């Protein structure tokens, strides 16, 4: 064996190590499998031809570089920063594995490992953090904090905010000049749709639901104004209701009465006799409870079910038997992540 053959062998071993190292840096299992089959094909086809193996290997590495999935391309997504919200998911994991976990997690925007540890060869195991929450962002500069990768599959949450208020919106029965956007009937079971809206499929994160309303002012509590998040087939993913508050105000009223307080001489005796009864007025004040103004009420749901939704339905419903509600404003704000 001459020196040329020895050099070719060393170069072949070096190329093999570099190829398998590059496979460890490729994001996603599908690319790993394709790259592994590619290098196996090169080995099988050129197992007796070192020069052919070197040529095909260099060509294979060039393809990886052009596709932007080799180490040089991976460095474009890596930055040294701090992340506002992060949670530890594993204390012994490689940077590549940490990135794969983040990529498979719909709620993860950043994969985080200790600073300057992701370039180690062979790959070392360190702590791995994932970002979480509605607002995920990095802070600091590129040479401090942690090694941070951004998940390209992550989609930022969106906010759907709607408000239905009098007088622009009127869903009730009776006069629209009353100041009520919706009013139910007290004499029977009643159901009034305020809003039904469909949109692109998404995963709900949190919900803020509020209304300005009041009940009939007496008797048992009245339920209420409902909101329901509906799934892909119209099933209920989440539902909540706002109870109509009891609005009462006290007013001061006066009640007066007349009573006999003596007699007096009537000079016009031909009209009612010589003496006539004198009447005095006596008044007293009392407090009376009457229906008051509409009252704001709201509820906040921070953690909604991790199920896909496509519609929101809002309606007012009362069961009759004297129960009635009226509302001048209904609004909701839904934070969701596109699917």
pLDDT tens-digit series, residues 49-91 = 666 766 766 666 666 665 554 444 344 455 567 888 899 999 9
Q: Where in the chain is CATH 2.60.120?
A: 158-250+289-338
CB atoms near residue 25 (< 10 Å): 22
Q: Predicted confidence band at 256 (pLDDT cuts at 50, 70, 90)?
A: very high
pLDDT at 75: 43
Whether residue 249 has pLDDT greater than 60: yes
Q: Predicted confidence band at 170 (pLDDT cuts at 50, 70, 90)?
A: low
Give the pair of three-digit tokens for residue 161. 């905010």
**Cα separation of 136 and 149, whole Å?**
13
**Cα separation of 331 and 241, whole Å?**
13
Given the structure tokens 């408000």, which residue do they identify? 163
Q: Which of 12-21, 132-141, 221-230, 319-328 has the lowest mean pLDDT?
A: 12-21
CA dist 156 → 42, 52, 110, 310 (Å): 42, 48, 12, 18
85 burial via Cβ count (<10 Å: 0-12, 13-18, 19+): middle
pTM here is: 0.64
DSSP H helices in the chain: 3-25, 29-45, 50-67, 71-74, 95-104
The better pLDDT of the pair 244, 5 is held by 244
Percentage of the chain lying above the pLDDT 70 cut = 74
Strand boundaries in the chain, DSSP class E: 78-83, 86-93, 110-114, 126-131, 138-139, 146-150, 158-165, 182-183, 189-215, 222-231, 236-244, 248-265, 275-291, 295-301, 309-319, 325-338
Mean of pLDDT values over 8-36:
61
**78-83 vs 222-231, strand pairing mode:** unpaired
Q: Predicted confidence band at 19 (pLDDT cuts at 50, 70, 90)?
A: low
158-250+289-338 maps to which CATH number?
2.60.120
């Amino acid at each position: 064996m001459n020196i040329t053959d020895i050099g070719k062998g060393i170069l072949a071993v070096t190329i093999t190590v570099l190829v398998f190292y590059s496979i460890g840096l490729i994001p996603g299992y599908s690319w790993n499998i394709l790259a592994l089959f590619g290098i196996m094909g090169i080995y099988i086809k050129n197992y007796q031809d070192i020069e052919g193996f070197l040529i095909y290997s260099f060509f294979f590495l060039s393809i990886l570089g052009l596709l932007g999935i080799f180490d040089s391309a991976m460095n474009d997504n890596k930055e040294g920063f701090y992340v506002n919200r992060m949670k530890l998911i594993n204390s012994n994991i490689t940077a590549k594995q940490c990135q794969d976990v983040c990529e498979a997690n719909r709620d993860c925007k950043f994969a985080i490992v200790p600073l300057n540890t992701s370039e180690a060869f062979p790959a070392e195991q360190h702590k791995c953090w994932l970002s979480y929450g509605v607002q995920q962002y990095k802070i600091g500069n590129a040479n401090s904090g942690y090694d941070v990768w951004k998940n390209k599959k992550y989609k930022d949450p969106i906010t759907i905010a709607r408000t239905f208020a009098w007088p622009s919106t009127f869903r009730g029965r009776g006069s629209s000049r009353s100041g009520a956007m919706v009013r139910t009937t007290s004499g029977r079971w009643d159901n009034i749709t305020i809003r039904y809206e469909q949109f692109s499929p998404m995963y709900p994160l949190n919900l803020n639901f509020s209304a300005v309303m009041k009940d009939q002012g007496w008797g048992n509590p009245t339920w209420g104004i409902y909101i329901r998040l509906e799934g892909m087939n119209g099933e209920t993913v989440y539902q909540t209701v706002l109870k109509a508050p009891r609005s009462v105000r006290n007013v001061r009223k006066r009640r007066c009465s007349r009573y006999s307080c003596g007699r007096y001489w009537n000079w016009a005796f031909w009209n009612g006799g010589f003496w006539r009864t004198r009447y005095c007025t006596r008044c007293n004040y009392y407090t009376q409870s009457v229906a008051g103004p509409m009252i704001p009420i709201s509820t906040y749901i921070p953690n909604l079910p991790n199920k896909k939704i496509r519609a929101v339905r809002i309606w007012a419903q009362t069961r009759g038997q004297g129960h009635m509600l009226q509302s001048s404003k209904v609004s909701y704000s839904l934070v969701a992540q596109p699917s």
